[in-house]
Amino acid sequence: MIDLPHRSPALAPAALDTLGGHTTRQLLRLCEVAGLGAADAAGYAQTLRTALGPVAERPLALPARSRSFLSDDHTPVEFSLSFVPGTTPTLRVLLEPGSGVGSLAQSGRSGLRAVRALARRWDVATDRLDELEDLFFPLSPHGPLALWCALELRPGGVPRVKVYLNPAASGAARAAETVREALRRLGHRQAFTTLPDADRLLFFALDLGDWDDPRVKVYTAHHDLSAAAAGSLSRMKDGPAPAEIEAFFRTAAGIDDGEDTLLERRPVQACHAFTETATGLPGGFTLYVPVRDYVRHDGEALDRALVLLRRYGVDSAQLLDSLAAATSRRLEDGVGLIAYLALAHQQGRPPRVTVYISSEAYAVRPPALLSAQAAAVR
């Protein structure tokens, strides 16, 4: 078992700790790992508290105000670090800005107001989001979420902004129609037909503001997936070889070469990112393996993540420091801190390995082996 670096006692939750207090402490430490200065880190921490709204001041001794789909324990915050060789990791924070405000419709409207307030602060255009409002924010929405917002944190205190919308907002039966129309409005008329077959359309995402090539992204869910099937998902022009995707899938899922195991507990996710409109072909592809459902505890998830980082030439110390910034618990005492392992390819850039880190503000999921033993006793 790999020991994490020294954890500060300040990470331990206080008796009257709040959601905002817990998550901003984590963010401040993660900013340090990602090489962001103290002033930038403080500004981003305050942004997180503000974007969460009133729920940020809610004591963690109380249950989560709403059952956020963003994490297993309903914390409306998740962190991720994207790794490429020779640089500090890119830190992102994903949050549900309308969490806990009431109905799904109210959550969506609150989330829109929060995103637009952030956009005004940083002079970020929201015209692409505005054009889709009627599609994704109906009067009586369906589904587990209305809007998520991701901030890619950069030096200088101005992040890159992304929003995630629910294709099933008008009902699961209309999800494909909604995504097709959203792509059409944004100029990607041929994009929908290039997507692979999937069990569900999960998210429709937009880059807002200062991006070199702003993307439109469609996320799909794939149940009972094999390594070979994972290798065939990419529709990216000049994308990764199937063998590379299969190898990543096997390592992340803990499947030996030659085995034809299907991932049945939680679906694998794929994302296709569109930038140009001429061909309809995506310029990016990402595969997300929900590692937390295919390990006994986070120590095993870390071992797999380290193998992948070494394979792609990344220094593992940065991931160890990141986990220590997020928690003071032993990795073998829970499962879910490392939620997903992802491999991203984008044209003109080296592949990226991304590790998604749960806040665990409300609960730590017990190790899988211990849960099985407890069930046998009952």
Of the listed ranges 114-128, 161-175, 224-238, 357-371, the least confidently predicted one is 357-371
Stretch 176-181: mean pLDDT, rounded?
Answer: 98
Predicted local distance difference test score (pLDDT) of residue 319: 97
Tens of pLDDT, residues 293-346: 999 999 999 999 999 999 999 999 999 999 999 999 999 999 999 999 999 999
Q: Is the pLDDT of residue 376 over 60?
A: no
Question: How far from each other are the two terminal CA atoms of the chain, in whole angstroms?
Answer: 30
Residues 6 or more apart whose Cβ sits within 8 Å of residue 200:
172, 175, 220, 221, 267
Calculate helix-pair angle for 38-52, 19-33, nearest 10 degrees: 150
CB 102 within 8 A of CB 53: no
Q: Is the pLDDT of residue 14 over 60?
A: no
**How does DSSP assign 159-202, residue by residue?**
-EEEEEE-TTTT-GGGHHHHHHHHHHHTT-TTTGGGSPP-SEEE
CB 80 within 8 A of CB 73: no
What is d(CA 236, CA 348) in angstroms, rounded to the nearest whole number?
A: 12
Q: Which neighbouring-strand residues pair with 93?
A: 79, 151
DSSP 8-state class, residue 294 = S
Q: Is the pLDDT of residue 3 over 90?
A: no
Ordered by start, the domain boundaries in the chain are 9-377
What is d(CA 91, CA 71) in angstroms, rounded to the nearest whole number?
A: 18
The number of beta carbons lying within 10 Å of the beta carbon of residue 300 is 20
H or E stretch at 355: strand 352-358
What is d(CA 151, CA 224) in angstroms, rounded to the nearest whole number?
A: 31
Q: Is the pLDDT of residue 202 over 50?
A: yes
Tens of pLDDT, residues 125-163: 999 999 999 999 999 999 999 999 999 999 999 999 999
Tens of pLDDT, residues 218-266: 999 999 999 999 999 999 989 999 999 999 999 999 999 888 899 999 9
Residue at 270: amino acid letter: A
DSSP 8-state class, residue 263 = B
Calculate Rg over the CA atoms of the chain. Answer: 20
Nearest Cα residue to 161 out of 81, 95, 88: 95
Q: Is the pLDDT of residue 1 over 60?
A: no
pTM to 2 decimal places: 0.94
Predicted local distance difference test score (pLDDT) of residue 2: 65
Half-sphere exposure of 224 (CA within 13 A, CB side): 1
Instruction: Give the mean pLDDT of the chain.
Output: 93
**How does DSSP assign 296-310, residue by residue?**
SSHHHHHHHHHHHHH
* Buried b / exposed e along 179-193 (16+ C-beta atoms within 10 A): bbebbeebebeebbe
Predicted local distance difference test score (pLDDT) of residue 9: 42
H or E stretch at 231: helix 227-231
Q: Is the pLDDT of residue 11 over 60?
A: no
Dihedrals phi, psi of 252, to nearest 5 degrees: -65, -35
C-alpha distances (whole Å) from 349 to each of 3, 87, 89, 214, 229 are: 33, 13, 15, 15, 25
What is d(CA 312, CA 80) in angstroms, rounded to the nearest whole number?
A: 17
Stretch 108-119: mean pLDDT, rounded?
Answer: 96
Tens of pLDDT, residues 58-92: 999 999 999 999 999 999 999 999 999 999 999 99
C-alpha distances (whole Å) from 366 to each of 192, 346, 370 are: 40, 36, 7
Residues 6 or more apart whose Cβ sits within 8 Å of residue 256:
250
What is d(CA 212, CA 178) in angstroms, rounded to the nearest whole number?
A: 27
